[in-house]
Structure 1
Amino acid sequence: MDSHYKNPYTPLSTEDDNTTSDTLPIQAQKNQVHANKRILALTTSLFLLCAGLGAALYYQINSACRVSYVSESSHIKVPHRAVTFLPHNEYTDQLPDEPGSVWDKLIPPGRGFVTAKRTRSGALAFEEHSSVSFGADSSREYYCISAFHQMHCLAIIYNAIFSKNHADHHHRDDHSDHTKHCIDYLRQSIMCASDATLEGSGVLGGDGTSVRAVDGWNNTHQCRDWDSLYDFASRHRMLDSDGIV
Protein backbone atom coordinates (compact mmCIF):
# COMPACT_ATOMS: atom_id res chain seq x y z
CA MET A 1 0.00 0.00 0.00
CA ASP A 2 1.37 3.34 -1.05
CA SER A 3 1.90 5.45 1.95
CA HIS A 4 1.50 8.64 -0.15
CA TYR A 5 -2.20 7.91 -1.16
CA LYS A 6 -4.71 10.45 0.32
CA ASN A 7 -8.53 10.24 0.15
CA PRO A 8 -9.70 13.40 -1.61
CA TYR A 9 -11.78 15.53 0.81
CA THR A 10 -13.16 18.96 0.30
CA PRO A 11 -14.48 20.62 3.43
CA LEU A 12 -17.79 22.57 3.25
CA SER A 13 -17.43 26.24 2.93
CA THR A 14 -17.87 28.16 6.14
CA GLU A 15 -19.69 30.86 4.17
CA ASP A 16 -22.39 28.37 3.05
CA ASP A 17 -23.05 27.39 6.66
CA ASN A 18 -23.70 30.96 7.65
CA THR A 19 -26.13 31.53 4.74
CA THR A 20 -28.26 28.48 5.59
CA SER A 21 -28.46 29.33 9.27
CA ASP A 22 -29.62 32.86 8.41
CA THR A 23 -32.32 31.67 5.97
CA LEU A 24 -34.15 29.36 8.41
CA PRO A 25 -35.12 32.06 10.99
CA ILE A 26 -36.34 34.42 8.22
CA GLN A 27 -38.63 31.74 6.80
CA ALA A 28 -39.94 30.96 10.26
CA GLN A 29 -40.71 34.63 10.80
CA LYS A 30 -42.63 34.79 7.53
CA ASN A 31 -44.65 31.72 8.47
CA GLN A 32 -45.45 33.25 11.86
CA VAL A 33 -46.64 36.49 10.22
CA HIS A 34 -48.99 34.55 7.92
CA ALA A 35 -50.28 32.56 10.88
CA ASN A 36 -50.90 35.73 12.86
CA LYS A 37 -52.81 37.22 9.94
CA ARG A 38 -54.99 34.13 9.69
CA ILE A 39 -55.68 34.20 13.43
CA LEU A 40 -56.52 37.91 13.26
CA ALA A 41 -58.86 37.36 10.31
CA LEU A 42 -60.57 34.46 12.08
CA THR A 43 -60.92 36.44 15.31
CA THR A 44 -62.36 39.41 13.43
CA SER A 45 -64.85 37.17 11.63
CA LEU A 46 -65.95 35.57 14.89
CA PHE A 47 -66.30 39.00 16.50
CA LEU A 48 -68.43 40.30 13.64
CA LEU A 49 -70.54 37.14 13.71
CA CYS A 50 -71.12 37.44 17.44
CA ALA A 51 -71.86 41.15 17.12
CA GLY A 52 -74.36 40.44 14.36
CA LEU A 53 -76.07 37.71 16.34
CA GLY A 54 -76.13 39.94 19.40
CA ALA A 55 -77.65 42.81 17.45
CA ALA A 56 -80.26 40.52 15.94
CA LEU A 57 -81.16 39.11 19.35
CA TYR A 58 -81.34 42.59 20.85
CA TYR A 59 -83.60 43.76 18.04
CA GLN A 60 -85.94 40.82 18.50
CA ILE A 61 -86.13 41.28 22.25
CA ASN A 62 -86.50 45.04 21.92
CA SER A 63 -89.20 44.65 19.29
CA ALA A 64 -91.05 42.21 21.49
CA CYS A 65 -90.85 44.66 24.36
CA ARG A 66 -92.15 47.47 22.18
CA VAL A 67 -95.05 45.35 20.97
CA SER A 68 -95.85 44.28 24.50
CA TYR A 69 -95.71 47.88 25.68
CA VAL A 70 -98.02 49.07 22.91
CA SER A 71 -100.42 46.24 23.57
CA GLU A 72 -100.50 46.96 27.28
CA SER A 73 -100.86 50.69 26.68
CA SER A 74 -104.12 50.40 24.74
CA HIS A 75 -105.68 52.82 27.16
CA ILE A 76 -107.34 56.09 26.33
CA LYS A 77 -105.03 59.04 26.94
CA VAL A 78 -106.94 61.64 28.95
CA PRO A 79 -105.37 64.89 30.18
CA HIS A 80 -105.50 65.93 33.83
CA ARG A 81 -106.77 69.19 35.22
CA ALA A 82 -107.24 70.68 38.67
CA VAL A 83 -110.87 70.69 39.86
CA THR A 84 -112.16 72.17 43.12
CA PHE A 85 -115.02 70.17 44.65
CA LEU A 86 -118.07 72.38 45.31
CA PRO A 87 -121.74 71.61 46.03
CA HIS A 88 -123.97 71.34 42.95
CA ASN A 89 -127.58 71.18 44.13
CA GLU A 90 -128.92 70.66 40.62
CA TYR A 91 -127.80 67.04 40.85
CA THR A 92 -129.65 66.41 44.12
CA ASP A 93 -132.79 68.41 43.36
CA GLN A 94 -133.94 66.02 40.63
CA LEU A 95 -133.69 62.33 39.87
CA PRO A 96 -131.63 61.06 36.94
CA ASP A 97 -134.67 59.56 35.18
CA GLU A 98 -136.64 62.82 35.08
CA PRO A 99 -137.16 64.35 31.62
CA GLY A 100 -134.45 66.88 30.86
CA SER A 101 -132.42 65.85 33.90
CA VAL A 102 -128.99 67.42 34.27
CA TRP A 103 -127.72 63.90 34.87
CA ASP A 104 -128.30 63.02 31.22
CA LYS A 105 -125.77 65.67 30.20
CA LEU A 106 -123.05 63.70 31.98
CA ILE A 107 -123.37 60.79 29.56
CA PRO A 108 -122.14 61.25 25.95
CA PRO A 109 -124.05 60.09 22.87
CA GLY A 110 -123.60 56.35 22.62
CA ARG A 111 -123.61 56.07 26.43
CA GLY A 112 -119.88 55.38 26.60
CA PHE A 113 -119.78 52.38 24.24
CA VAL A 114 -116.98 52.60 21.65
CA THR A 115 -115.65 50.46 18.79
CA ALA A 116 -112.06 49.62 17.87
CA LYS A 117 -109.87 47.32 15.80
CA ARG A 118 -106.55 45.70 16.60
CA THR A 119 -103.43 46.89 14.80
CA ARG A 120 -100.56 44.56 13.91
CA SER A 121 -98.77 45.60 17.07
CA GLY A 122 -101.75 44.55 19.16
CA ALA A 123 -102.82 48.08 20.10
CA LEU A 124 -106.38 49.28 19.77
CA ALA A 125 -107.26 51.74 17.00
CA PHE A 126 -110.52 53.44 17.90
CA GLU A 127 -112.92 54.16 15.06
CA GLU A 128 -114.62 57.49 14.46
CA HIS A 129 -118.40 57.32 14.65
CA SER A 130 -120.23 57.21 11.33
CA SER A 131 -123.95 57.39 10.62
CA VAL A 132 -123.40 54.90 7.79
CA SER A 133 -123.69 51.26 8.82
CA PHE A 134 -120.96 49.00 7.45
CA GLY A 135 -122.68 45.82 8.60
CA ALA A 136 -121.25 43.07 10.76
CA ASP A 137 -117.48 43.01 11.09
CA SER A 138 -115.85 40.28 13.17
CA SER A 139 -112.62 42.30 13.41
CA ARG A 140 -114.34 45.01 15.46
CA GLU A 141 -114.15 45.00 19.24
CA TYR A 142 -116.69 46.68 21.47
CA TYR A 143 -116.01 48.31 24.81
CA CYS A 144 -117.69 50.46 27.41
CA ILE A 145 -115.57 53.18 29.00
CA SER A 146 -115.58 52.48 32.71
CA ALA A 147 -116.18 56.05 33.89
CA PHE A 148 -119.55 56.26 32.15
CA HIS A 149 -120.49 52.83 33.43
CA GLN A 150 -119.73 54.07 36.94
CA MET A 151 -121.80 57.22 36.47
CA HIS A 152 -124.70 55.15 35.14
CA CYS A 153 -124.53 52.91 38.21
CA LEU A 154 -124.60 55.94 40.51
CA ALA A 155 -127.72 57.21 38.75
CA ILE A 156 -129.38 53.81 39.12
CA ILE A 157 -128.61 53.78 42.84
CA TYR A 158 -129.95 57.31 43.26
CA ASN A 159 -133.20 56.40 41.52
CA ALA A 160 -133.57 53.19 43.52
CA ILE A 161 -133.14 55.00 46.84
CA PHE A 162 -135.59 57.83 46.30
CA SER A 163 -138.14 56.93 43.64
CA LYS A 164 -139.63 54.09 45.73
CA ASN A 165 -140.43 56.39 48.64
CA HIS A 166 -141.58 59.39 46.63
CA ALA A 167 -144.25 59.02 44.00
CA ASP A 168 -143.78 62.69 43.16
CA HIS A 169 -140.13 63.17 42.28
CA HIS A 170 -140.46 66.92 42.65
CA HIS A 171 -141.03 66.77 46.41
CA ARG A 172 -138.05 65.41 48.23
CA ASP A 173 -137.50 67.94 50.97
CA ASP A 174 -137.03 65.12 53.48
CA HIS A 175 -133.80 63.93 51.83
CA SER A 176 -131.15 64.07 54.49
CA ASP A 177 -128.37 66.57 53.95
CA HIS A 178 -125.89 63.80 54.63
CA THR A 179 -127.28 61.62 51.82
CA LYS A 180 -127.27 64.56 49.41
CA HIS A 181 -123.68 65.28 50.36
CA CYS A 182 -122.62 61.68 49.78
CA ILE A 183 -124.35 61.41 46.39
CA ASP A 184 -122.79 64.65 45.13
CA TYR A 185 -119.39 63.79 46.59
CA LEU A 186 -119.42 60.40 44.88
CA ARG A 187 -120.49 62.01 41.61
CA GLN A 188 -117.56 64.43 41.70
CA SER A 189 -115.17 61.65 42.72
CA ILE A 190 -116.13 59.59 39.67
CA MET A 191 -115.66 62.60 37.41
CA CYS A 192 -112.29 63.38 39.00
CA ALA A 193 -110.98 59.85 38.43
CA SER A 194 -112.47 59.55 34.92
CA ASP A 195 -111.42 55.90 34.94
CA ALA A 196 -110.52 54.96 31.34
CA THR A 197 -110.18 51.22 31.95
CA LEU A 198 -111.59 49.19 29.08
CA GLU A 199 -114.21 46.64 30.09
CA GLY A 200 -114.78 43.83 27.62
CA SER A 201 -118.40 43.31 26.60
CA GLY A 202 -120.28 40.09 25.96
CA VAL A 203 -123.51 39.15 24.22
CA LEU A 204 -126.32 38.21 26.61
CA GLY A 205 -129.84 37.00 25.96
CA GLY A 206 -131.70 34.34 24.03
CA ASP A 207 -134.94 33.51 22.25
CA GLY A 208 -133.96 35.69 19.32
CA THR A 209 -133.07 38.69 21.47
CA SER A 210 -129.53 39.53 22.49
CA VAL A 211 -127.75 42.60 23.75
CA ARG A 212 -124.17 43.55 24.48
CA ALA A 213 -123.62 44.16 28.16
CA VAL A 214 -120.87 44.53 30.74
CA ASP A 215 -120.76 43.73 34.44
CA GLY A 216 -117.40 45.41 35.09
CA TRP A 217 -115.95 42.53 37.09
CA ASN A 218 -112.41 41.14 36.75
CA ASN A 219 -111.01 44.31 35.18
CA THR A 220 -107.76 45.74 36.55
CA HIS A 221 -107.97 49.52 36.90
CA GLN A 222 -105.18 52.08 36.56
CA CYS A 223 -106.29 54.37 39.14
CA ARG A 224 -108.76 62.46 34.41
CA ASP A 225 -110.48 65.90 32.28
CA TRP A 226 -114.09 64.64 32.13
CA ASP A 227 -114.92 66.75 29.08
CA SER A 228 -112.04 65.20 27.11
CA LEU A 229 -113.25 61.71 27.89
CA TYR A 230 -116.81 62.75 27.05
CA ASP A 231 -115.72 64.14 23.66
CA PHE A 232 -113.69 61.03 22.92
CA ALA A 233 -116.63 58.74 23.68
CA SER A 234 -118.92 60.84 21.52
CA ARG A 235 -116.55 60.80 18.52
CA HIS A 236 -116.02 57.04 18.67
CA ARG A 237 -119.49 55.99 19.81
CA MET A 238 -120.97 52.71 18.71
CA LEU A 239 -124.62 53.87 18.76
CA ASP A 240 -126.63 57.09 18.93
CA SER A 241 -128.50 56.21 22.13
CA ASP A 242 -128.54 58.69 25.00
CA GLY A 243 -129.63 59.09 28.61
CA ILE A 244 -128.03 58.09 31.87
CA VAL A 245 -130.52 55.42 33.01
Structure 2
Amino acid sequence: MLTSKNGQDEEEQGFLESPYRDGERKSTVEHNVSQSPRRPPMFYLRLFIELTMAATIAVLLTRQLSGSTRCRSPARSSPVPQFPRKMYTFLENSTYLNEDMFARREATLHTLHNWLGLSAAARGYIHIPNWASFDIGEPLNMALDRQTEGPVYMMSAFHQLHCLSYLVEHFQAGYGGVELEKEVAHHSAHCFDYIRQSIMCAGDTNLEGKTEAGPGWGSSHECVDYDALLEWANTHGAMPWRTELLPGEAVL
Protein backbone atom coordinates (compact mmCIF):
# COMPACT_ATOMS: atom_id res chain seq x y z
CA MET A 1 0.00 0.00 0.00
CA LEU A 2 1.32 3.45 -0.85
CA THR A 3 1.47 6.14 1.79
CA SER A 4 1.06 9.72 0.87
CA LYS A 5 4.01 11.99 1.34
CA ASN A 6 2.00 14.25 3.64
CA GLY A 7 1.16 11.35 5.95
CA GLN A 8 4.79 10.25 6.00
CA ASP A 9 5.92 13.76 6.80
CA GLU A 10 3.47 13.92 9.75
CA GLU A 11 4.69 10.60 11.14
CA GLU A 12 8.33 11.64 10.83
CA GLN A 13 7.63 15.03 12.38
CA GLY A 14 7.24 13.42 15.81
CA PHE A 15 10.73 11.93 15.60
CA LEU A 16 12.56 14.98 14.33
CA GLU A 17 15.21 16.39 16.60
CA SER A 18 14.38 19.51 18.58
CA PRO A 19 15.80 22.66 17.08
CA TYR A 20 17.28 23.35 20.54
CA ARG A 21 20.18 21.54 21.99
CA ASP A 22 19.87 20.45 25.59
CA GLY A 23 22.06 23.25 26.82
CA GLU A 24 20.15 25.84 24.89
CA ARG A 25 16.76 24.66 26.28
CA LYS A 26 18.02 24.80 29.86
CA SER A 27 19.47 28.24 29.35
CA THR A 28 16.22 29.51 27.92
CA VAL A 29 14.17 28.15 30.87
CA GLU A 30 16.52 29.69 33.40
CA HIS A 31 16.36 32.98 31.54
CA ASN A 32 12.55 32.95 31.65
CA VAL A 33 12.54 32.20 35.40
CA SER A 34 14.98 34.96 36.10
CA GLN A 35 12.80 37.37 34.17
CA SER A 36 9.68 36.68 36.41
CA PRO A 37 8.55 39.98 38.03
CA ARG A 38 9.79 40.70 41.58
CA ARG A 39 7.42 42.22 44.18
CA PRO A 40 8.27 45.81 45.03
CA PRO A 41 9.28 46.72 48.63
CA MET A 42 6.01 48.65 49.13
CA PHE A 43 4.09 45.38 48.74
CA TYR A 44 5.80 43.89 51.78
CA LEU A 45 5.41 47.11 53.77
CA ARG A 46 1.70 47.18 53.03
CA LEU A 47 1.35 43.50 53.95
CA PHE A 48 3.12 44.13 57.26
CA ILE A 49 0.86 47.08 58.09
CA GLU A 50 -2.32 45.14 57.28
CA LEU A 51 -1.25 42.16 59.40
CA THR A 52 -0.39 44.49 62.29
CA MET A 53 -3.79 46.18 62.07
CA ALA A 54 -5.58 42.82 62.01
CA ALA A 55 -3.67 41.65 65.08
CA THR A 56 -4.45 44.90 66.92
CA ILE A 57 -8.18 44.62 66.17
CA ALA A 58 -8.19 41.01 67.37
CA VAL A 59 -6.52 41.98 70.66
CA LEU A 60 -8.97 44.86 71.25
CA LEU A 61 -11.99 42.65 70.56
CA THR A 62 -10.67 40.01 72.94
CA ARG A 63 -10.17 42.57 75.69
CA GLN A 64 -13.64 44.01 75.15
CA LEU A 65 -15.28 40.60 75.36
CA SER A 66 -13.33 39.62 78.45
CA GLY A 67 -14.11 42.98 80.03
CA SER A 68 -17.85 42.60 79.44
CA THR A 69 -17.67 39.10 80.88
CA ARG A 70 -16.03 40.44 84.02
CA CYS A 71 -18.77 43.04 84.36
CA ARG A 72 -21.44 40.36 84.25
CA SER A 73 -19.61 38.15 86.72
CA PRO A 74 -19.51 38.70 90.48
CA ALA A 75 -16.66 41.01 91.45
CA ARG A 76 -15.70 38.68 94.29
CA SER A 77 -16.50 35.23 95.57
CA SER A 78 -19.44 34.86 97.94
CA PRO A 79 -21.22 31.99 99.69
CA VAL A 80 -24.58 33.62 98.91
CA PRO A 81 -26.25 32.07 95.84
CA GLN A 82 -27.86 33.92 92.93
CA PHE A 83 -31.55 34.08 93.80
CA PRO A 84 -34.28 33.78 91.15
CA ARG A 85 -36.06 36.87 89.85
CA LYS A 86 -39.74 37.63 90.35
CA MET A 87 -42.20 40.29 89.17
CA TYR A 88 -43.77 42.47 91.87
CA THR A 89 -46.28 45.30 91.58
CA PHE A 90 -45.52 48.20 93.91
CA LEU A 91 -48.69 49.10 95.83
CA GLU A 92 -49.42 51.04 98.99
CA ASN A 93 -49.64 48.73 102.02
CA SER A 94 -50.94 50.26 105.25
CA THR A 95 -49.78 47.22 107.23
CA TYR A 96 -46.22 48.51 107.05
CA LEU A 97 -46.68 52.28 106.65
CA ASN A 98 -49.60 54.70 106.73
CA GLU A 99 -49.99 58.42 107.32
CA ASP A 100 -52.09 58.00 110.47
CA MET A 101 -49.32 56.14 112.31
CA PHE A 102 -47.31 59.33 112.81
CA ALA A 103 -49.92 60.91 115.07
CA ARG A 104 -48.89 58.79 118.07
CA ARG A 105 -45.68 57.05 119.04
CA GLU A 106 -47.55 53.88 120.01
CA ALA A 107 -49.19 53.66 116.59
CA THR A 108 -45.82 54.09 114.91
CA LEU A 109 -44.19 51.34 116.96
CA HIS A 110 -47.10 48.94 116.49
CA THR A 111 -46.96 49.46 112.73
CA LEU A 112 -43.18 49.02 112.63
CA HIS A 113 -43.61 45.85 114.69
CA ASN A 114 -45.16 44.30 111.57
CA TRP A 115 -41.79 44.68 109.86
CA LEU A 116 -40.37 41.87 112.00
CA GLY A 117 -41.92 39.40 109.59
CA LEU A 118 -40.06 41.03 106.70
CA SER A 119 -36.71 40.26 108.28
CA ALA A 120 -34.99 36.94 108.88
CA ALA A 121 -35.39 35.10 112.18
CA ALA A 122 -31.84 36.07 113.21
CA ARG A 123 -32.44 39.66 112.05
CA GLY A 124 -30.22 39.17 109.02
CA TYR A 125 -27.15 37.70 110.70
CA ILE A 126 -25.85 34.84 108.54
CA HIS A 127 -23.57 32.10 109.84
CA ILE A 128 -20.66 31.47 107.43
CA PRO A 129 -18.44 28.74 108.98
CA ASN A 130 -16.03 28.61 106.03
CA TRP A 131 -15.69 32.37 105.71
CA ALA A 132 -11.92 32.18 105.07
CA SER A 133 -12.64 30.52 101.71
CA PHE A 134 -14.28 33.70 100.40
CA ASP A 135 -13.21 37.28 99.82
CA ILE A 136 -15.66 38.82 102.29
CA GLY A 137 -13.45 40.20 105.05
CA GLU A 138 -13.43 39.16 108.69
CA PRO A 139 -16.71 38.13 110.35
CA LEU A 140 -18.48 39.27 113.47
CA ASN A 141 -18.69 36.83 116.38
CA MET A 142 -22.21 36.18 117.66
CA ALA A 143 -24.34 33.51 119.30
CA LEU A 144 -25.38 30.62 117.08
CA ASP A 145 -27.37 29.03 119.89
CA ARG A 146 -27.45 29.24 123.68
CA GLN A 147 -24.08 27.51 124.04
CA THR A 148 -22.11 28.34 120.89
CA GLU A 149 -20.76 31.43 119.19
CA GLY A 150 -19.45 31.62 115.67
CA PRO A 151 -18.61 33.77 112.64
CA VAL A 152 -21.55 35.71 111.21
CA TYR A 153 -22.19 38.49 108.69
CA MET A 154 -25.11 40.88 108.33
CA MET A 155 -26.90 40.55 104.99
CA SER A 156 -27.29 44.03 103.53
CA ALA A 157 -31.00 43.77 102.66
CA PHE A 158 -31.86 43.32 106.35
CA HIS A 159 -29.49 46.09 107.40
CA GLN A 160 -31.38 48.36 105.01
CA LEU A 161 -34.71 47.35 106.56
CA HIS A 162 -33.37 48.10 110.04
CA CYS A 163 -32.14 51.52 108.93
CA LEU A 164 -35.42 52.46 107.31
CA SER A 165 -37.37 51.32 110.38
CA TYR A 166 -35.08 53.41 112.58
CA LEU A 167 -35.60 56.49 110.43
CA VAL A 168 -39.38 56.08 110.47
CA GLU A 169 -39.38 55.72 114.25
CA HIS A 170 -37.33 58.86 114.83
CA PHE A 171 -39.14 60.84 112.16
CA GLN A 172 -42.28 60.36 114.23
CA ALA A 173 -40.40 61.37 117.37
CA GLY A 174 -39.30 64.61 115.73
CA TYR A 175 -42.81 65.11 114.37
CA GLY A 176 -44.07 64.73 117.93
CA GLY A 177 -41.72 67.41 119.24
CA VAL A 178 -38.98 65.24 120.77
CA GLU A 179 -35.65 67.06 120.81
CA LEU A 180 -33.04 65.53 118.53
CA GLU A 181 -30.21 63.89 120.46
CA LYS A 182 -26.66 63.64 119.12
CA GLU A 183 -26.68 59.82 119.06
CA VAL A 184 -29.94 59.81 117.10
CA ALA A 185 -28.53 62.36 114.65
CA HIS A 186 -25.41 60.24 114.17
CA HIS A 187 -27.37 57.02 113.65
CA SER A 188 -29.84 58.75 111.34
CA ALA A 189 -27.06 60.21 109.18
CA HIS A 190 -25.55 56.74 108.88
CA CYS A 191 -28.88 55.21 107.86
CA PHE A 192 -29.75 57.91 105.34
CA ASP A 193 -26.38 57.52 103.61
CA TYR A 194 -26.45 53.72 103.84
CA ILE A 195 -29.85 53.60 102.16
CA ARG A 196 -28.69 56.12 99.54
CA GLN A 197 -25.77 53.90 98.59
CA SER A 198 -27.93 50.77 98.69
CA ILE A 199 -30.41 52.31 96.25
CA MET A 200 -27.59 53.23 93.88
CA CYS A 201 -26.06 49.76 94.25
CA ALA A 202 -29.31 47.99 93.37
CA GLY A 203 -29.94 50.37 90.48
CA ASP A 204 -33.60 49.49 89.87
CA THR A 205 -34.07 50.31 86.17
CA ASN A 206 -37.73 49.32 85.91
CA LEU A 207 -39.76 52.04 84.18
CA GLU A 208 -42.75 53.66 85.86
CA GLY A 209 -45.53 55.35 83.91
CA LYS A 210 -48.89 56.92 84.63
CA THR A 211 -51.19 54.73 86.75
CA GLU A 212 -54.46 55.22 88.62
CA ALA A 213 -52.73 54.23 91.88
CA GLY A 214 -50.53 57.34 91.94
CA PRO A 215 -46.83 58.13 91.55
CA GLY A 216 -44.72 54.99 91.89
CA TRP A 217 -47.64 52.70 92.66
CA GLY A 218 -49.11 50.21 90.22
CA SER A 219 -45.87 49.68 88.31
CA SER A 220 -44.33 46.24 87.83
CA HIS A 221 -40.76 45.63 88.96
CA GLU A 222 -38.47 42.70 88.32
CA CYS A 223 -36.88 41.96 91.68
CA VAL A 224 -35.05 39.30 93.63
CA ASP A 225 -37.50 36.65 94.81
CA TYR A 226 -37.71 37.87 98.40
CA ASP A 227 -39.30 34.65 99.64
CA ALA A 228 -36.32 32.67 98.30
CA LEU A 229 -33.90 35.14 99.89
CA LEU A 230 -35.71 34.95 103.23
CA GLU A 231 -35.75 31.15 103.16
CA TRP A 232 -32.00 31.00 102.54
CA ALA A 233 -31.30 33.56 105.27
CA ASN A 234 -33.37 31.60 107.80
CA THR A 235 -31.64 28.34 106.86
CA HIS A 236 -28.18 29.87 107.36
CA GLY A 237 -28.98 32.33 110.12
CA ALA A 238 -27.40 32.77 113.52
CA MET A 239 -29.40 32.32 116.73
CA PRO A 240 -33.03 33.33 116.00
CA TRP A 241 -34.94 35.85 118.01
CA ARG A 242 -38.05 34.61 119.78
CA THR A 243 -40.31 37.06 117.99
CA GLU A 244 -43.48 35.67 119.51
CA LEU A 245 -42.27 36.72 122.97
CA LEU A 246 -41.40 40.30 122.00
CA PRO A 247 -43.72 43.13 123.08
CA GLY A 248 -45.90 44.84 120.51
CA GLU A 249 -43.62 47.90 120.51
CA ALA A 250 -40.51 45.91 119.50
CA VAL A 251 -39.05 46.95 116.16
CA LEU A 252 -36.13 45.95 113.95
TM-score interval, normalised by the smaller of the two chains: 0.3 to 0.5
Structure (1 or 2) with the greater helix fraction: 2
Task: Please report the TM-score for the alignment, with normalisation by the length of structure 1.
Answer: 0.40
